[in-house]
Structure 1
Amino acid sequence: MRRSVSTGPIAFDATLWDEPTTGIGLYTRCLASALETLGTRLEKLGAHASGEHPRGDSGRTAWTLAGLPRVLQRLGAPLYHAHGNFNLPLTRVPGMAYVLTVHDLIPLLMPETVSRAFRWQFRLWLSRSLLMADRVVCVSERTRNDLLARFPEVEARTVVVPNGVDHVHAPELDSISVDFLRALSLPKEYVLYAGSLDVRKNVELVLDAMERLRAQGRPVSLVLAGQSWFGSGRVEQRIFRLRSEGHDVRSLGYQSDAVFYELMRRAALFVFPSRYEGFGLPPLEAMHLGTPTIVSTAGSLPEVCGDAAVAVRPDDAEGLARAIDRLLRSPEERRALAARGKARASEFTWKRTAERTLAAYEAALRR
């Protein structure tokens, strides 16, 4: 019989720990903190420089395939938890259980949004990892359903454990951040999109809505906070053109957490019309901060946001324009939506995520 979680430290995938621009990195750090608060001992493996067993200058893939199995054999932990959708070791370490978190299946569902090389890596490595995993943790029912549609054989080993959002707090700004925000001279009411500028995120729908509103004599100010990503060139070119035509579009790129959340907190509206999300943390973060939110009807967004966010179809630019206009004209509706959003977001805590993850660990160890 395999050991209990309480008999030894959990070997914990930290390969994205030092990568602050990734959602999986955020998941890794928040889950680790919540697990440790509950008394779980973790050995963090594979971060660039952090944790008990950093990988140094080795690439994540090379280290996971070649270095990680040796570390796991020396460590002798009862269980290893990988967080990166598909990145379990290719071979079994004797006596060790494996748990894998799957956030989404974007390379399989939307292959045009990732490089060909990554698409093939994802498909092949995911298939192998699902064979090795004793438990598969999916962050939403939508992700679980997408996974089972392609790999029905893992149904009995798959559980849903949603993310938390209580890592978000009203930011404490240093003097540099205060000066930066003041220099932006943002209007009192602006619409915010926060996230990468890749095709999947559907930023072009927001730009379509902006053009429609301006043509109707209702121009809006749009702030974009997020880094460039695969396929973002087209969006960036369009933003440049709109600015040259007089649209108020501020593309700020990647920002520190403090600035990012302050931009979110101050926004009149947060818009996130993504074509697919495995979970969709940014709109939940906005709701947690009390910012009225508009999302799409795609992916897991209806599941996560419920009726606490306005939803439009991901191809409905006119519907998005109407929703933006209506909410900007109605402070009362924005306040009501903000209250519903905060109540909904309060249901998603990292303590609950950690408790359900521990249950998945124990189930994996019983196999």
Structure 2
Amino acid sequence: MSTLGPIALDATLWDEPTTGIGLYTRCLADALEAQGVVLDRMGARMSGEHPRGVQKRTAWTLGTLPKVLRESPPPVYHALGNFNLPLRRVPGTAYVLTVHDLVPLDLPDTVSTPYRWQFRLWLARSLTTADRLVCISERTREDLLRRFPQVEPRTVVVPNGVDHVTVPELDAEGEDFLRALTLPKDYVLYAGSLDVRKNVDLVLDAQERLAAQGKPFTLVLAGQGWFGSGKVETRIARLRSEGLDIRALGYQPPSTFYALMRRAALFVFPSRYEGFGLPPLEAMRLGTPTVVSTAGSLPEVCGAAAPAVDPDDAEGLAAVIHRLLGSPGERRALSESGLHQAAKFTWARTAELTRAAYDAALRHRR
């Protein structure tokens, strides 16, 4: 790699373990360092070389970060949060931005109004200052170019990895927690936040349909509430009061989360849109048969290794769940194909392609 000094890496979500971008930040950093790249982690709450302390992320990025960069300009600054480059260029520093998705623009009702406007305005500015734009899927790249075709020459696709997921080792407390749940052998798992975009309602629709047909199953939900999740949380409470077996566990630490995922008979993820869709790929990595929707990047990432249903097709999802729960042989075949598909996505490859983006940004610095 042609850079002459440490890469300045946006670490503003480093200490936020519940976020997908926080996971992306840490996995990318580990993979880059394994390939000999020296990093300066900038803006984490407590970690890294330039922690922000009590400052809010936005205030630090707009106010403090430019001063830090000017004091000792790095060859590259890489922002990881969709839109969060400094508003002005720092002489001598190339800017790289990772775009995960355009959810606030394409699905505006799934985020708050203040965040939607922050995203819209800040992204527009960042696109004028970025030397390279890293999109995590072809779908995200297509969405970006549909709105901003002028950035096409500066845009590359760098998929995420999934080999951060290993067979979980639970401590005694974790084992006790899972044992206390008294889950049946063949439960269905959804993992992710409960916001509208994730389409948890479709899983609940499918469960209601099957229960009405005398074909009940246990549904486990692992994930925290998010913007707009109140309606689905109210529905979950009502369905439980009516006798459906729904275990809403909230956020779980990684070891427990992956243990739940590995032990599930089936993982379902019918999201209405994903820029990448890491949870189903994580399930595949653990050998868990997976069902996704036909929306967003999910068909691109999961390929033929996961049956896909329309995000509005509750009957179709119910049929797939019932068929797979009754067919261990088909589940084994999906497990094998899922393992093969997940093996294609490594953080080492993500780091290699990201390094190439850094080199290109340096060569074509504007």
Match of 1:191 among 182, 188, 192: 188
Q: Deviations over 1:243-287 (max 9, x none)?
A: 000000000000000000000000000000000000000000000
Distance between the aligned counterparts of 1:45 and 1:74, measured in 2? 13
Q: Deviations over 1:62-113 (max 9, x none)?
A: 0000010011112321000000000000000001000000000000000000
- 2:287 matched residue in structure 1: 290
Matches within 5 A, 1:146-165: 146-165=143-162
Match of 1:332 among 309, 329, 332: 329
Q: Deviations over 1:301-324 (max 9, x none)?
A: 000000000100000000000000
- Decide whether the 8 Å contact of 1:4 with 1:78 is kept in 2: no
- Decide whether the 8 Å contact of 1:293 with 1:309 is kept in 2: yes
Distance between the aligned counterparts of 1:204 and 1:80, measured in 2? 40
Matches within 5 A, 1:297-336: 297-336=294-333
- 1:170 matched residue in structure 2: 167
- Decide whether the 8 Å contact of 1:101 with 1:138 is kept in 2: yes
Match of 1:347 among 344, 350, 357: 344
- 2:275 matched residue in structure 1: 278
Distance between the aligned counterparts of 2:151 and 2:241, measured in 1? 52
Distance between the aligned counterparts of 1:220 and 1:334, measured in 2? 16
Distance between the aligned counterparts of 1:75 and 1:101, measured in 2? 23
Distance between the aligned counterparts of 1:289 and 1:227, measured in 2? 22
Distance between the aligned counterparts of 2:153 and 2:183, measured in 1? 51
Would you say 1:8 and 2:15 are equivalent positions? no
Q: Deviations over 1:170-199 (max 9, x none)?
A: 111111111111111111110000000000
**AA paired with 2:289?**
P
Distance between the aligned counterparts of 2:215 and 2:75, measured in 1? 60
- SS across alignment from 2:97: strand
Distance between the aligned counterparts of 1:97 and 1:246, measured in 2? 58
Distance between the aligned counterparts of 1:151 and 1:261, measured in 2? 38
- 1:44 matched residue in structure 2: 41
Distance between the aligned counterparts of 2:72 and 2:175, measured in 1? 46
Distance between the aligned counterparts of 1:250 and 1:109, measured in 2? 31
Distance between the aligned counterparts of 1:278 and 1:76, measured in 2? 32
Unaligned runs of 5+ in 2: none
Q: TM-score, normalised by structure 2?
A: 0.99
**AA paired with 2:2?**
S
- Decide whether the 8 Å contact of 1:47 with 1:53 is kept in 2: yes
- 1:65 matched residue in structure 2: 62
- 1:261 matched residue in structure 2: 258
Would you say 1:87 and 2:84 are equivalent positions? yes
Q: TM-score, normalised by structure 1?
A: 0.99
- 1:35 matched residue in structure 2: 32
- 2:355 matched residue in structure 1: 358
- SS across alignment from 1:285: helix
- SS across alignment from 2:87: coil
- 2:50 matched residue in structure 1: 53
**AA paired with 1:333?**
E
Percentage identity across aligned positions? 74
- Decide whether the 8 Å contact of 1:79 with 1:365 is kept in 2: yes
Would you say 1:205 and 2:202 are equivalent positions? yes
Distance between the aligned counterparts of 1:73 and 1:260, measured in 2? 42
In the alignment of these two chains, the number of paired residues is 364
